[in-house]
Amino acid sequence: MKKQTSLVIGLAAGGIAVAAGLLAALGHLPVWAAELVAVVMFPAFVIFIALWWNAKPGEEDIPFIGY
């Protein structure tokens, strides 16, 4: 996976979770559904953002699988 991909996935996951929270607050989405979205998206958000900021700027794959 490339550094850019990781950032996009992480931000998308965070964005979806925030959007679901807002929709629930405005009453367009049941609260349990927003919670479910947050539960699914939060791990992706945490892990992909961390993978993005620890990746080197080069072209190599992250997480590096090797040796």
Partner 1 sequence: MIEYLLFATFIGLLFHGIHRKVIARVQGRPGPPIWQEILHTLKFSFKETWIPKTASQTLFVGIVFVAIAIWSGALFILLSGGSILLLFAVYLLHKIVEHGMGLSTGSPYTKFGAIRSVISAASELPLLVTVVAIYFFTRSLSIADIAAYQEVHGPLLILAFPAAVAMYLVILSKMHYGPFSIIEAKEIVSGNMTEHFGVWRAALEVAYALKTYVLLYAFVLIFIGSLPLALTLLVMLLVLVSLSFVCAVTPMLSPYDTVTIQTLVTGALVIYILILGVVMG
Q: Which of 9, 11, 38, 59 binds partner 1 (CB under 8 A)?
A: 38
CA dihedral 17, 20, 24, 30 (to 10 degrees): -110
Closest CB 21 distance from partner 1, rounded Å? 4
Closest CB 8 distance from partner 1, rounded Å? 17
Q: Cβ-count burial of 11 within 10 angstroms (0-12 exposed, 13-18 middle, 19+ buried)? A: middle
- Tell me which residues touch partner 1 (CB under 8 A): 14, 17-18, 20-21, 24, 31-32, 34-35, 37-47, 50-51, 53-54, 62-67
